[in-house]
Structure 1
Amino acid sequence: MDKNYETVRRIMLATNKIDGVYYLLGKNYGINENTLAFLYALTDGKPHSQKEISDEWIIPRTTINSIVKTMLAEGYIMFCSEQHTKEKAIVLTESGRKYADRFLKDIYSAEEKAIIGTLENYPPEFVSALEEFGNRLYQEFHEILQNKKEHIKHEQF
């Protein structure tokens, strides 16, 4: 347990550092980390629904909805029709791409340098391992929360 605890602790510290860097960059640019993540999600050029962004980036739907309202009003995003879905898909407008580029150009540059340096020391599979750990941890926490809800529900009766 102690070795696993230390390993998880190191991962947690590393991910907190990564999150903190994005938080500080957003703050430096005058936007919050959720807006930065929202823009980041949309810069892949594909349409995304609010639900999809909320689920993938683990940002509350109410927060995503607020960001969408603001970005729509500012002309940075627009809805596009996606066939076979109830959800409206969102894409960046041309002015939205320019707006996002103001922040993301520097971020992409720093990320590129950081990943090149990392890949000089570690194989690219470390990303898959980290993704798997994140997915498994998400599942375990989800299960814990579901069990707590069931326990609370039974206690009420």
Structure 2
Amino acid sequence: MYKFDDLGKKISEIDERIDALIAKTGLSYSEFAVLYTLAKDGRSTQKKISEEWLIPKQTVFNVCKDFRQKGLVQIGEQSVDKRERAIELTQKGRDAADPIVRASDELGERVFARLGEKNAEKLFSLLSRFCEICDKEIENTPGIQTKI
């Protein structure tokens, strides 16, 4: 299990770097997630943002409510799922999000350029393969009964 622990530590280290970038924006992780997603996708739903960024839907709702009061987002027509409303940035929201998205994207480009294309391909290939192996091994692992 120690290899999983090592992997978890490395993933946490990557998360810390992403958090450091987000901290430079002055936004919370949830606020960044909403702005970034809407800037990239044009429009989205609270559910999609929640699932994509692993944030509770209520948290996304609260961020959207706050952004709406600040004039950064508007609630559009209902999406395909009639229980969901589409959210999109206003012009004020786009003006606020654009430099944040640009800086984030440029950082990613610089990091992966320094890593090198072949190493980046290898990294993603190995991570994909790792997930495939985990899926198969978990599928083949019998249930574990506890006495709790």
Output the CA distance in 1 between the equivalents of 2:41 and 2:19: 23
Superposition deviation, residue 126 in structure 1: 3.4
Give the SS at the match of 1:124.
Answer: helix
The normalised TM-score by structure 2 is 0.74
CA contact (8 A) 1:39 1:100 kept: yes
Q: Which structure's residues are more often helix, by fraction?
A: 1
TM-score (norm. length: structure 1): 0.70
Q: Name which of 61, 67, 71 aligns with 1:71.
A: 67
Output the CA distance in 1 between the equivalents of 2:120 and 2:66.
41
Instruction: Give, in whole Å, the separation in 2 of the partners of 1:52 and 1:19.
Output: 21
| Partner SS state of residue 58, structure 2 | helix
Confirm whether residue 88 of structure 1 aligns to residue 85 of structure 2: yes
Task: Render the CA deviation track for 1:83-134: whole Å, top value 9, x for unaligned.
Answer: 5321101111221111112322222111111122234342526336536756
Shift of 1:38: 1.8
Q: Which amino acid aligns with 1:27?
A: A
Is 1:22–1:33's contact at 8 Å kept on the other side of the alignment? no
* Structure 2 runs not aligned, ≥5 long: 136-142
Distance 2:22 2:121 in 1: 27
1:54 offset after TM fit, Å? 0.5
Specify whether residues 35 and 134 from structure 1 end up closer, same or farther in structure 2 by C-alpha distance, changes over 3 A only.
farther
| 3-state DSSP of counterpart to 1:43 | helix
Provide structure 1 residue ranges, at least 5 long, that are not aligned to the other structure: 139-146
Structure 1 stretches of 4+ moved >6 Å:
134-138
CA–CA distance in structure 2, aligned partners of residues 94 and 59 of structure 1? 25
Number of residue equivalences: 139
Alpha-carbon RMSD: 3.2
**Larger RCO (alpha carbons 8 Å, 6+ apart):** 2
The aligned counterpart of 1:115 is: 112
